[in-house]
Structure 1
């Protein structure tokens, strides 16, 4: 069975669904609950309540299940930051990643997939495709890419000294059903929510005011989950790091146009005047080694996401 940390979370739940659809059983490790979600009852899935910062509790999971692979999607970073305990929170964050590697070694797991982020490319000035072999700046503008860069380096060391195949997943801007973040790094989720509710979007939480020309590699969460599942189950992988995304830059204007195909009177227009940079993830490695192809363009994603929200779902 594949152990998935954060398996009840946003990307995790869709990754679990993809793994199940590919015939794999899953063990979901969560800190707060041990109940199987209603939508997964009867599936080949178990939920274990364990905190990955507690090595003994984590290793106990392996006594109850035969773990053959690990997908680590839970946070191994100080998130949300705790100003009163910054050193202890950092220690726990890095310790949780090492606990996963310890468990993999003890259980004889051959492959561990670890979530990284498109944010590790922050500071690269060139437009166009972002490739896994691009030199990365030694700085980062936010705690998430900071710890993902550190994690990638640690993962490489652990892979070298243990022989475990550790794979970094540099995940692009992911959006879709279950997204708890809202307008955190990009506008698309809040634009969808506003359209579904018939309100104006609240984009005040973004780091910079959004414009119609702003673009990012947006990947619908079902595509993200399927890509991660394919990387976990591939017979052979030729690299340690893979970009996980759509392979193209999607502008806010494209998202707005897709929304208005479903909600013509949506009040989601944005001003022009943005930089219009067109950076996106090169997904050649992912496609060559797994056969992955994105299934959701902006129109299909927006229509499905709005329908999901209008059906009464909370996120």
Structure 2
């Protein structure tokens, strides 16, 4: 049976495809509208379907044609400030389209769903690390749109009998250690991506949004997870479901936080470039600190990260930016 990876031409989805192929899964299909993804990010031999995840006829045809039994859903809008200015766009892209996708996929025979969620569902947690059992109180439309999708999947699974794993990401960073994929969107807002672009002279400066938070240095504190480690968690989740495992909701992080200013200093040190940093006011919708509680995913899936080192993650990101520059010159 095959796996359908929505958003598989994008950052995290493309790493999921690589993780599946590296583990010997030769039946992988990508569905992507290429609005933020790239066809060249889909490995040779992987079938790419260009289209919208909410196109139910297309989804049903694809599932039946390729005998797909599992869905890994990455396609989404992910920029928190954009969700504040365009909430209806985020509810459409992340909630309405997910509902259409799940209805079509399960109706066509998909029995297992892996859903890409976010730590934004927690809002402003009272304590860190954040456990999956704490109250869910997202403070921006992005987090709310993802939480609504979590609820829909859980309710649909109870009624229709499929199983699922929801993975709540903390801050994803880095690139494939073999240099096959990375964060490729030129206007991405991920901190490490933006900082490496500043270090390589592709941005005039790096803006830091707020240094008056209740954290040790006043800047936001985040848990950074390397993208290949994250993809491995998805692969293990698929194995868990296919072997008869129960539905699960789990955090994906390392359980260690770094402030924005700490990350900036690591990027400067690794790159050897003292790029310009501008301190700006807080952005709406940004919680002060988010650090994952990770006992559940380690115990449930046996997940062991391999790249839990900020300097390694930054080195990978810098190498990928250099690769993109060379690619764009050819």
Question: Smaller-chain TM-score range?
Answer: 0.7 to 0.9
Q: How does 1:258-273 map to 2 (within 5 A)?
A: 258-267=266-275
- Unpaired runs of at least 5, structure 1: none
1:300 equivalent to 2:320? Answer no
**Structure 2 CA distance for partners of 1:251 and 1:97, relative to 1, 3 Å:** same
1:217 equivalent to 2:226? Answer no
**Structure 2 CA distance for partners of 1:183 and 1:231, relative to 1, 3 Å:** same
- The one-character-per-residue Cα deviations of 1:12-70 (angstroms, maximum 9, x if unpaired) are 111111111111121000124999637611x4x21112222221121111232010210
Which residue matches 1:187? 191
Which residue matches 1:23? 24
**Structure 2 CA distance for partners of 1:21 and 1:268, relative to 1, 3 Å:** farther
**Structure 2 CA distance for partners of 1:38 and 1:13, relative to 1, 3 Å:** closer
Which residue matches 1:252? 260
**Structure 2 CA distance for partners of 1:212 and 1:85, relative to 1, 3 Å:** closer
Which residue matches 2:14? 13
- Unpaired runs of at least 5, structure 2: 175-181
**Structure 2 CA distance for partners of 1:278 and 1:102, relative to 1, 3 Å:** closer
Equivalent residue pairs, number: 303
TM-score by length of 2: 0.79
Which residue matches 1:59? 60
Alpha-carbon separation, structure 1, partners of 2:3 and 2:235: 10
Q: How does 1:165-184 map to 2 (within 5 A)?
A: 165-176=163-174, 177-178=182-183, 180=185, 184=189
Alpha-carbon separation, structure 1, partners of 2:151 and 2:183: 30
